[in-house]
Structure 1
């Protein structure tokens, strides 16, 4: 099964076992994260609905990409500027692509809710008191 996920303003086609480099995500090496913004899912040549599909990944490392040199020059004006930039990346290993498991909601008992036991306040009494004070 594969999925197309969006992270860091880019889209990636991933499957279980793939390794990808994405823009920096919060987390330490070894942590498991979920990529929730799934745009498309499929199995083989079949395209499925991406609703409810979750992609889980393990952070391999936090790294930097290769250096990009930015050089500006205006000829005959003695103007030269040189800058370098290294983008921070997160290396991910996709562990699973599949349907989200729904958790059972905890049952609420009537005895646990304090709002049901407390008497309701009367709003019209406040209005009447405010009207008599205004006179």
Structure 2
């Protein structure tokens, strides 16, 4: 790798300096205000190149071969990155089109067989409720913070299901599962207040200090059941109604 050296700006003003980067006698005293170049207090580098000269170094990059032999022997990986759709002549890319999904019917048939015989185990799900996600199973009690209109005894169907699964399989939505595929039933069991919380504020040197006590509203929800209502092959059926309440 060839290296070309440039002279510093203070070397360009020296008429007697013939060799780039070399310092003439007395240069250290004139530039740094007295002392000797080999002083023990401020020892300077003994190299002929100063730090300013090193900063002006131009290093030519090393030329590499176009393609290494080892990489040439490896076949290029297949990557399907076609645009999902075009809008006004511009392509928009969809992450789901980047990877080709596996079309394995045996997996769907095995899951459907477990659902028919009732050997899927204890089902669980991940639902979104009031802006938060909860991992739930049958018999769980979840707490919703803040004001929420439903009253005690109301029965709910949680329709915003992001994931559901059993002991041997998991159904992952993109981002939601198909409407009606998973039925999650819940009941409002209690509406209460949280424990007393303290809100303390103070401004230094301003004779300002406030202490407030408050309690948030809470709603207790019991999960009654989680069921997969239909087979996986039928999950791609069109939705009967367009109303979805979250």
- Report matched runs for 1:8-87 at 5 Å: 8-23=130-145, 24-49=147-172, 50-51=177-178, 52-87=181-216
Q: Return the structure number with greater strand share.
A: 1
Q: Give the number of aligned pairs.
A: 102
Distance 1:83 1:19 in 2: 30
Q: Any runs of at least 4 consecutive aligned residues in structure 1 with deviations exceeding 4 A, and if so which? A: none
Unaligned runs of 5+ in 1: 106-135
Distance 1:27 1:48 in 2: 29
Q: 1:96 aligns with which of 216, 222, 225?
A: 225
How much is the aligned-residue C-alpha RMSD, in angstroms? 2.0
Query: Taking structure 2 as the reference length, what is the TM-score of the superposition?
Result: 0.38
Q: 1:2 aligns with which of 106, 116, 124?
A: 124
> Kindly tell me: are residues 45 and 96 of structure 1, through their superposed partners in 2, closer, same or farther at Cα, counting changes over 3 Å?
same
Structure whose alpha-carbon radius of gyration is higher: 2
Q: Return the structure number with greater helix share.
A: 2
SS in 2 for 1:48: strand
Unaligned runs of 5+ in 2: 1-122, 231-239, 241-246
Query: Taking structure 1 as the reference length, what is the TM-score of the superposition?
Result: 0.66
